[in-house]
Amino acid sequence: MTGCANHDTVRRGNQVSTDADINWNLGKTLPEVLRRAYDNPAVTLWVYGFSPVLPMDFINATLHSPWMFFRNTDERYGVKVVSEEAGFLDWQVTPELFKRKKAFPRLKSLGFKDIGELREFSQALSVIMEANDYNISAVVEAIRTCIEGKDETCVIPKIKGLRRPGMLRFLSKMDLDRLKQFARWFMEDCYEICNVGHYATFVNATQTAYNLSLRQFRHRYPWLRHNLSGTDRFNKISEEQTTIFYGVRSNPERPEEMVAMVAHMGGKPHRIKLTELLQLQGEDWQVAIASPGLTLEDLDDFELQDTQGVLLTKT
């Protein structure tokens, strides 16, 4: 069982280090990569068109709207959660989104007029919180030590390096209440920006139609919910640069009714030869659903790129 699953799945994506080994086949920017990763045509095709068990779809992922973990019910852990969610600003918030007139009004009122400033302070806060074992009183003292120019005792280089005007105005008045206010307003601004109602008009019609077609396919083949058995197959090609999932299933009550699947799960483009892979003859099969942008002229020999996949049914 895989797929988007729940609210924590996207949250963990936000916590991936921007220095990690990122699959840039998914997009040119971090937000593009994350949205494609959590609304991946190959994954959706695999879990809806072939797998016995389905994940719980998460609406923020399928609508490509931001999401993070929220906590503003207490002051101590509220600051801790904000420090852990610093990556949200890199993975989910574009400069264009931040500049919207109604976006992040509370944090902008504190002096954070630029997304770069907010990212820098949030990342620094994450470092200093961990260094002080999430003791927010000690965190405030450490920030004040660095901002007041006590370089000989400032042990947090990220804080010492914060010199943008907006941040300096905010940090110059740093105390416990101000840090708690920042955490609370961060949560409230992010809560508003994650409302899916803001993004309905930006939904990709082609991707949405594809996702819908897979759900409809699932209803037409309800026997897919059974475990694989008998002559069913599910295998993968796992190479250093490429991973391909593929398989074939039969209706337990009507063995002549069959579904085959090939999905490119990551890496370099790969040529698919159905005769070699699944011992299937292309003339006996037809394309039921192909991922957006994929056109197949010869089912016995075709190329798949990262996130592409195809479902076949026996003619």
Along the 315 residues of the chain, how does pLDDT read in single tens digits?
456 667 788 888 898 999 999 999 999 999 999 999 999 999 999 999 999 987 788 899 999 999 998 877 777 688 888 988 999 999 999 999 999 999 999 999 998 988 998 998 899 899 889 988 999 999 998 888 887 766 666 766 667 667 777 777 888 888 999 999 999 999 999 999 999 999 999 999 999 999 999 999 999 999 999 999 888 999 999 998 899 999 999 999 999 999 999 999 999 999 999 888 988 887 889 999 999 999 998 998 999 999 999 999 997
172 and 262 inside one domain? no
pLDDT value, residue 72: 74
185 and 209 inside one domain? no
The span from the CA of 14 to the CA of 34, in Å, is: 8
Residues 6+ apart with CB under 8 A from 265: 42, 43, 46, 236, 243, 244, 245, 306
In the listed set 193, 217, 239, which residue is the last one of a domain according to the structure? 193
Sign of the Cα pseudo-torsion (105, 106, 107, 108, in order): positive
The span from the CA of 76 to the CA of 208, in Å, is: 41
Nearest to 8, CA basis, from 76, 55, 77, 43: 55
CATH number of the domain bearing residue 273:
2.60.40.1180
10 located within any domain: no
189 and 212 inside one domain? no
170 and 213 inside one domain? no
Task: Please count the structural domains in the chain.
Answer: 2
242 and 265 inside one domain? yes
Give the tokens for residue 107: 């944090």
139 and 211 inside one domain? no
Residues 6+ apart with CB under 8 A from 200: 63
Give the tokens for residue 232: 């069913």
101 located within any domain: yes
7 located within any domain: no
Give the tokens for residue 193: 């920006």
Provide the whole-model pTM: 0.89
151 and 210 inside one domain? no
75 and 109 inside one domain? yes
149 located within any domain: yes
311 burial level (CB within 10 Å; 0-12, 13-18, 19+): buried
25 burial level (CB within 10 Å; 0-12, 13-18, 19+): middle
| Dihedral pair phi/psi, residue 201, rounded to 5° | -75, -10
In the listed set 193, 217, 248, which residue is the last one of a domain according to the structure? 193
| Dihedral pair phi/psi, residue 282, rounded to 5° | -55, -35
Give the tokens for residue 208: 């949405």
271 located within any domain: yes
pLDDT value, residue 77: 80
181 located within any domain: yes
12 located within any domain: no
The span from the CA of 114 to the CA of 98, in Å, is: 8
185 and 228 inside one domain? no
186 and 74 inside one domain? yes
pLDDT value, residue 119: 92
| Dihedral pair phi/psi, residue 243, rounded to 5° | -130, 125
159 and 250 inside one domain? no
In the listed set 165, 193, 221, which residue is the last one of a domain according to the structure? 193
210 located within any domain: yes
Instruction: Quote the domain boundaries for residue 116.
Output: 68-193
186 and 270 inside one domain? no
